[in-house]
Amino acid sequence: MTVAPLTRDQLLGHAAELFAERGFHKVTVREISDGVGANVAAVNYHFGDKLGLYREIVEGNIALMEETMQKAMDAGRGGDADGQLRAFIEVFVERLLTPRDGNQIQRLMMREMENPTPMLDVIVERVMEPRMRYLCDVIGRLLGRPSDDRVVRNCAASVHAQCIMCKRTPALVRMNIGFDDDGDAAALADHIAEFSLGAMASMVGKTMAQREARGGREVGSAKSSLKAAASA
């Protein structure tokens, strides 16, 4: 026998969608409670206050996110850096563009970037930093440089900047500065991957050419898959 979904869970579900869509500040508790046929006081009753509800949603999403991230890293394990970066971009972009019940973390993060809340710190610690660490790790291997290298960090930022721009916020749409708007996440991911891998291949090529021009020679350190490709 099925029980009616508890108000608490309904609130969580409905609020999650609203927060993901418009951000913490632009959603009123009345909207949330009305949306599930509950009383205004329901939010405070179940979650202490509006932020408490938001916190629970964010934390739930973070947990999901951590699993996903782990899976993504596992999936890439064993492959080359090139494939790992492509995979990362594909997953990221797809998540950003495709609404999924119970997983709004990517959109929530976009909203946090626009209008931060106290939850941002948690998000940074448990989502952004692991992600950037992974991204830098992959790119480091791509470029044959340490993952805390300045160039690596900048390339990671370049890649990340493009991914973020995939999320079409109202302002971005009106500004018409985004990517081609055919709603095809795969095509978008492909462009970003091509663009970024091409950029980094070119960087590695130049570095090599410069070094070779200086009579230099590859000296150990990390092996670069792009260098390998470039020298092939």
Partner DNA sequence: AATGAATGAGCCTTCATTCAT
Partner DNA sequence: GATGAATGAAGGCTCATTCAT
29 contact choice in DNA, its own copies, none (CB below 5 to 8 Å, kind-dependent): DNA
The token pair at 43 is: 């939010």
Binding letters toward its own copies, positions 176-215, x by CB under 8 A: xxxxx-------x--xx-xxxxxxxxxx--x---------
The answer to the question of residue 58 lying near its own copies (CB under 8 A) is no
What residue type is assigned to position 225 of the chain? S
Closest CA to 156 of 144, 140, 167, 168: 140
Check: CB of residue 189 under 8 Å from CB of residue 89: yes
Which of its own copies, DNA, none does 178 bind, CB closer than 5 to 8 A by kind? its own copies
Scanning 2-10, 77-85, 95-103, 150-158 for contacts with its own copies by CB under 8 A, the matching segment is 150-158
Structural contact between residues 104 and 61, judged by C-beta atoms closer than 8 angstroms: yes
Interface stretch with DNA, choices 34-42, 91-99, 177-185, 205-213 (CB under 7 A):
34-42
**Residue with tokens 């095809």, as numbered in its chain:** 184
Q: x/- contact string, 94-113, with its own copies (CB under 8 A)?
A: ------------------xx
Residue 228 binding target from its own copies, DNA, none, CB below 5 to 8 Å by type: none
Quick one: which of 160, 189, 208, 227 contacts its own copies (CB under 8 A)?
160
- The helix (run of H) or strand (run of E) holding residue 129 is helix 129-143
**What length is written for the chain?**
232
- Find the part of the chain contacting DNA (CB under 7 A) among 21-29, 65-73, 96-104, 215-223: 21-29
Number of neighbours of residue 47 by Cβ within 10 angstroms? 20
From the number of C-beta atoms within 10 Å of its C-beta (0-12, 13-18, 19+), residue 75 rates as middle
Taking the least distance from each CB to DNA, the nearer of 6 and 161 is 6
